Amino acid sequence: MDKLANMQAFAMVGQTGSFAEAARRLNLAHSVVSKRIKDLEDYLGAQLLMRTTRKVSLTDAGYAYLDHVRKFLDEMDEIEGALRHKAQKPVGTIKLTAPLSFGLQYLGPAIASYLAQYPDVTVKTYLSDRRVDLVEEGYDLAIRVGALSDSSLIAKKLGACRRVVCATPAYFKQHGTPQTPDDLRNHNCLSYINLAEGKSWPFMVDGHKTWQPVTGNFLSDNGDLLYQAALANGGITLLPTFIVGDALNDGRLVPVLESYEETDFDIHAVYQHTRHLSAKIRTLIDHFGKVFGAGF
């Protein structure tokens, strides 16, 4: 059994959802593709595809296997490309995850300019504020904002960032300006739910990181939504400068408690430990470093 050929046939059927289209793209007879899938299923002892007269769909086992097969084939393409050209050339697919607000504002142009240099790379980008498990979920690279948790992952700083307590001048004129973190008890705080469930904010007090309890009537899992609420005089918020930077620069928002800001809030690229980092991952991280190195 030619396992590699069978995997390639399965990946193409999974991609196109059609035996006929897969056969056309692989320049093979329909019967050959069908036999390769059957041989692969027999070898694995699992059904990968559901076949009806109208369509072909993946089983649960097929979905799981297809993700691994695509990654394996991408890596094979990269290795073969490097050997053919006697040098590492970025080729293949990168599965990337990043926070929603940061991704929407900055990743589109950064990825587009990278792909203009390396057109043989495909970047699949998934935006979510959920902290994904790179190993379990098959991601090649993650953009992480803020303090990094201890793990076996490798991190490279891409750019400097701050998380700023701020509100509009009108809000401070009406409600007063907090002088210490404890003063936030007297203010309506617009809180990010994914940070301590929106119940407290981090500060540096006497050289130590502490958490100040806060309360408010507007919480969200999206920083841009809180940003818009703050601009509408809704309260005080704590957000990264990549979201509120423009409003701070033009005076629509005013920062407070700057001497209490935490010191470990930056933007990093995070990836799995590997002996030889692939050319596609290395060049994308380097590109992000150049684009975001000036900070936010």
pLDDT at 87 over 60: no
- Give mean pLDDT, residues 60-82: 82
pLDDT at 86 over 50: no
Determine the CATH number of domain 163-260.
Answer: 3.40.190.10
What distance in Å separates the CA atoms of residue 54 and residue 58, rounded to the nearest whole number?
Answer: 14
Split at pLDDT 50, 70, 90, the class of 264 is: confident
Rg of the chain over Cα atoms, rounded to whole angstroms, equals 25
* Chain region(s) in the chain for CATH 3.40.190.10: 88-160+266-292, 163-260
* Chain region(s) in the chain for CATH 1.10.10.10: 3-66
Half-sphere exposure of 211 (CA within 13 A, CB side): 8
What distance in Å separates the CA atoms of residue 138 and residue 152, rounded to the nearest whole number?
Answer: 15
Class of domain 3-66: mainly alpha
What distance in Å separates the CA atoms of residue 248 and residue 261, rounded to the nearest whole number?
Answer: 16
Split at pLDDT 50, 70, 90, the class of 150 is: low
Q: Which architecture does CATH list for 88-160+266-292? A: 3-Layer(aba) Sandwich (3.40)
pTM of the model: 0.68
- The alpha carbon dihedral of 15, 21, 27, 33 has a sign of positive
Question: How would you classify the pairing of strands 189-192 and 236-240?
Answer: parallel
| Bigger pLDDT: 55 vs 196 | 196
Split at pLDDT 50, 70, 90, the class of 84 is: low
Half-sphere exposure of 155 (CA within 13 A, CB side): 15
* pLDDT tens profile 211-260: 999 999 999 999 999 999 999 999 999 999 999 999 999 999 999 999 99
Split at pLDDT 50, 70, 90, the class of 265 is: confident
140's CB contacts (< 8 A; 6+ apart) are: 94, 95, 96, 134, 271, 272, 281
Amino acid at 29: A
Contact between 218 and 229 under an 8 Å Cβ cutoff? The reply is: yes
